[in-house]
Amino acid sequence: MSSFRLPSLLVAVLVAACAQTTIKNSWKAAEDTGPALRKVLVVGVTKRADVRRTFEDTFAAELKAKGIEAILSYESEPDLGPEGAERLKVLVGKTGADGVLVTRLVKRERKLDYVPGAPPPAYVGMNMYGYYPRAWAGYYDPPMMVESEIVIAEVNLFRASSEKLVWAATTETFAPSDIAASTKDFAKVVITALSKDKLL
């Protein structure tokens, strides 16, 4: 009988990487009784045009997969900045969007997680030559601290007819080294939450 065990650090990294984005907190306007939104203007707030395009393209694709019409704000307003509120209002009216989804990066931070040492493998039924190399496993697999990068983002959904905020959330995304993959995961998590709250 043999036993195989991944190192604790590798297990921790694999688990974290599989769950890239999580919603840390969210809020829904209790007074909002409007219908589910069917035409959403997607706005990425960032100074980097490439990141904005990736975000809006990916979010639009995920919305369309749910049967929701999505409008890319960068196509009509490629340089929409801090002074662009009036231009955004005109764009909403021109496109006929019933919802506006605005996302912005809040901050990046380093996070330290404690990973306990793994218990020794099972030895029942193992002969002494199979056991001996595994006897060292506990000694060389001590507890450790694992550092990772976390991106915190803010998501706000407005109903165009009332211009009021109807849903907001703060998200955490783990180690977003691949912007495209991380954005797709981020979009899926947010859209699933919005659907659950019957806003989409």
Digit-by-digit pLDDT tens for the chain (200 residues) are 333 333 444 334 444 444 589 999 999 999 999 999 999 999 999 999 999 999 999 999 999 999 999 999 999 999 988 888 999 999 999 999 999 999 998 988 887 777 776 665 566 667 777 777 766 665 556 677 777 788 899 999 999 999 999 999 999 988 666 778 889 999 999 999 999 999 99
Number of H helices, E strands in the chain: 6, 6
Sign, CA dihedral 12-103-186-77, equals negative
Q: What is the value of pTM for the model shown?
A: 0.75
Distance CA 78, CA 47 (A): 11
What the block records as the tokens of 150 is 């976390």
Distance CA 93, CA 151 (A): 33
